[in-house]
Amino acid sequence: MTEFPSATADPARTISAEACAGLLADLRSASPLIQCITNAVVTNFTANVLLALGAAPAMVDIPGEAAQFAPVASGVLVNLGTPTEAQRAAMLEAAGAAASSGTPWVLDPVAVGFLTVRTRTAQQLVAQRPTILRGNASEIIALAGSGGGGRGVDSLDEPAAALGAARLLASRYGSVVAVSGAVDAVVPADGAVIRVANGTPLLTRVTGGGCALGAVMAAFASLTPDPLLAATAATGVYTLAAEKAAILAEGPGTFAPRFLDALAAITPADVRQGLVLPEDS
């Protein structure tokens, strides 16, 4: 059993709604170009999420081109949802090129744990020290070496149960670890815990609700040298927009387009007023 650090340490720092709002304004001005190596199920939704928010998607995911593109992209997403042999090669190329060139990159280790191919690939990728590591609680626990993962892409654990694993991964690889759930947790290498309490259960009822967040994190990470701020701002903007969309949605079918509209409409003022960053939860 992997020994995890204490999950009760006090936060070493905080993140403000004002800082997150400023980063959203920066994104709208910069329109960062995000290379997405992601799974076949969510490609279209992920691209539309980035476009709605104000970023530019680039689905460059074949060997040879992936390494060429990563150094010129603003940020890179590597998502292990449907890891074909060719895509795994492209992932490793892009991660290596991003690390060498200083391009921020996000690893989303979808469904790691029980499934051997993606778990082995995730272990190779995390060793290249992603800027941000994003997953649900079961995925984070499994990648840290304890637990067999969730039920496919669904978590069997709450974010609070993954804090020790998140701290271990953040300390080992120097990554910020973002754990998705009803209350999201963002953990940097110093062991702080930043919580984001916005969102809606409807995000779990549409394909790509979690996966697209990894792309948004890559976009925000391209705007600041502070990945803790980037991961928190991305989570906050994304979940606050989802919250707004859920008010008008009749169910999952109407939620998805309303969510894209909400991402396009959300303003820095909305973030200042609506972002919930509890110190304890």
Q: Which residues are annotated as a binding site for substrate?
A: 59, 208
User: Quick one: which H or E segment has residue 140?
Assistant: helix 137-143
Cα–Cα distance, 170 to 130 (Å, whole number): 10
Residue numbers belonging to the annotated binding site: 59, 134, 180, 208
Length of the chain: 281
Cα–Cα distance, 156 to 68 (Å, whole number): 38
Residue numbers belonging to the annotated binding site for ATP: 134, 180
Picking from 19, 28, 39, the residue whose alpha carbon sits closest to that of residue 212 is 39
Cα–Cα distance, 258 to 245 (Å, whole number): 5
Cα–Cα distance, 77 to 219 (Å, whole number): 9
SS3 assignment, position 236: helix
Q: In what order do the strands lie in the sheet with 132-136?
A: 56-58, 33-37, 75-79, 105-108, 132-136, 176-180, 184-187, 194-196
